[in-house]
Amino acid sequence: MKTIKTVIFFSLLTLCTQGCGSDDDNSSSNTPEDNANQLIEALITEITGGTESIWKIESATLTNNNVTDLDVSDAFNIVDDEFLFKNDNNSQTITLEYRQGNSFNENASDVSDFLLDYYRSTENSTLNITDVENKVFEDTNKTFTYNSNSNITAELSLQGGSLSVNLSPKTSEDFAMPPSGGLNFTEVTTIQKSLALGTTGFTGANSSNSLYIAFRDNTVVPNVPTVYKYDLNTSSLTENTLDPNNDFVTKRAYVSNNKLKVFGGQFITEYDLDIAGTPSFVNHNIGSLTRFGFTTLDQDIYIIGENLDTETSNELWRYNGLSNSFETAANLPSGKAWADIEVVNNKLYIFGGQSAFSDTEPEALSYIYDIDNDSFTSFNLPEALFSSYSARYQNLIYVAGNIAIDADNDNINEDYDNFLGVYNTQDDSFTEITNDLDDSGTNTIKGITVFNNKLFILFDDQSGTPETKIMVTDL
């Protein structure tokens, strides 16, 4: 009997436990789908910090048909990459802004071959959580694994290979900051030429470690389109005067896919990086341009300036190098000539200059054009600049310019004071920079460029002496 009572007791206890608990369990239980959704949401919050987080590349290796695990961690076109992860509220996905900066050669066989001077637009994509347990999220060609709040590993699929990276959070200390103690310059070399104000193309190429200067030599008749290459490895200067077109005076130089290109008033001229031989050229067909500024993004070139054919300066043109075609990307809020442009993260920054080619006053008025939203905002520089020059360095844009001096108010500028500052795209602040450039006499800035973590400046004597110095400072 004892055994039977015990069995009955436990049977009743079991039924009571199941019955009494059934209502509570049904009211609070989650389906497997609910549990999975909660895990996904928690993971997204962890990755994005709840809203958004920016990550940088700590290390990177390239694998393709030519090389396996090539360490490219210190390459300039890897260091400038950013990954911005945004929480897509209630959608259980992450929005990725891949800010690649300068592109790279996917088929490179060594580090020098990996380098490309080719600035890319921001790539936007949607990342899906594909493995909650292992914290994997991906789009069509990038797979990320969240390992901790200080490490994400990623595999970027390429044509014929992959780029493997280790990411870490990018903090405020990781962003480039304006120099706090001013800048001190040293002379690199001197070229025996005088350069017209606001007309000279000046750029650097990481892949050849060289500087390039494009200008029209007005000291000879007829005037001669001229390109100089200064090799920083060998300290040697090379000249090319074989451009067959006697184009207008304004030139803008840039490097794309390891070619030097000179954008002129009517033509685009292309050279090998050693600038040997006769260059090729095409007519860009925009018009007859002068005192224009420009910048490159992917295969597009954005240009502002005076079109002598229409005598207007209020258009922002977008020229595509692949199709040799152009369009008006936007109409500026006011005309701009003698002004330079730079691009960071799909925004164009237009600095100072004048509202037209001639008979206008220098301006402090500057613009930001958001390419994605097709909208303008404005800001003012600390000084009105007769002519401006700009160069991108990570999240900073260095800005130089000429402040016109008309002491006797006869509308003829006797001299120009030099201006140097930096715009921080992270917080939209501008800082004027003290420097030791000799501003006495008629010494005048004629162009700037940034590469290899250095700022280079063309410094010309306006007195007519055929002499231009290339100055440099570390950033």
Q: Is residue 19 part of a domain?
A: no
Question: Quick one: 199 and 288 in the same domain?
Answer: yes
pLDDT at 414: 67
Shared domain for 169 and 208, answered yes or no, is no
Residue among 316, 407, 403, 415 at smallest CA distance from 362:
403
pLDDT at 30: 66
Which of 139, 174, 209 finishes a domain? Answer: 174
Residue scoring higher pLDDT (257 or 14) = 257
- Whether residue 133 is found in the same domain as residue 192: no
Q: What is the pLDDT of residues 158-173, one digit of tens each?
A: 998 999 999 999 999 9
| Same domain? 164 vs 215 | no
Question: The CATH number of the domain where 251 resides is what?
Answer: 2.120.10.80
Instruction: Tell me, yes or no, whether 170 and 222 share the same domain.
Output: no
Query: What's 88's domain CATH number?
Result: 2.40.128
The answer to whether residues 89 and 192 belong to one domain is no
Q: Are residues 371 and 228 in the same domain?
A: yes
Per residue in 98-137, pLDDT (tens digit) is 999 999 999 999 999 999 888 999 999 999 999 999 999 9
pLDDT at 290 over 80: yes
> What is the per-residue pLDDT for 284?
97
Q: How far is CA 164 from CA 70, 159, 351, in A?
A: 10, 14, 38
Would residue 16 count as lying in a domain?
A: no
pLDDT digits 0-9 by tens, 42-64: 999 999 999 999 999 999 999 99
From 122, 150, 174, the end of a domain falls on 174
Looking at the structure, do residues 419 and 270 belong to the same domain, yes or no?
yes
Residue 108 counted as domain residue = yes
User: Is residue 32 very low, low, confident or very high in pLDDT (cuts 50, 70, 90)?
Assistant: low
pLDDT band of 194, cuts 50, 70, 90: confident
170 and 190, same domain (yes or no): no
Residue 399 has pLDDT above 70, yes or no: yes
Statement to judge: residues 170 and 219 lie in one domain: no
In a domain, 2, yes or no: no
Residue 462 has pLDDT above 80, yes or no: no
CA gap 214, 239 in Å, rounded: 10
Summarised one tens digit per residue, pLDDT across range 435-459 is: 999 888 778 999 999 988 999 999 9
Which residues does 429 contact at the CB level (< 8 Å), separation at least 6?
423
pLDDT value at residue 460 = 87
Are residues 370 and 440 located together in one domain of the fold?
A: yes
Which helix (H) or strand (E) segment holds residue 22: the answer is helix 2-28
Does 87 map to a domain? yes
Q: Which of 25-39, 140-154, 268-282, 395-409 is least confident?
A: 25-39
And the tokens for 403? 């402040």
Supply the range of the domain harboring residue 73: 34-174
Domains held by the chain: number = 2
Q: Is residue 179 part of a domain?
A: no
Asked if the structure places residue 7 within a domain, the reply is no
* For range 363-389, the mean pLDDT: 97
**Strand 201-205 relative to strand 210-217, pairing:** antiparallel
Q: Report if residue 15 sits inside a domain.
A: no
The answer to which of 219-233, 347-361, 451-465 has the lowest mean pLDDT is 451-465
Tens of pLDDT, residue by residue over 332-359, are: 999 999 999 999 999 999 999 999 999 9
Picking from 125, 153, 174, the residue at the C-terminal end of a domain is: 174
* pLDDT tens for each residue of 2-22: 333 333 333 333 434 444 444
Backbone φ and ψ of 8, nearest 5°: -60, -45
Q: Looking at the structure, tell me whether residues 375 and 442 fall in a common domain.
A: yes
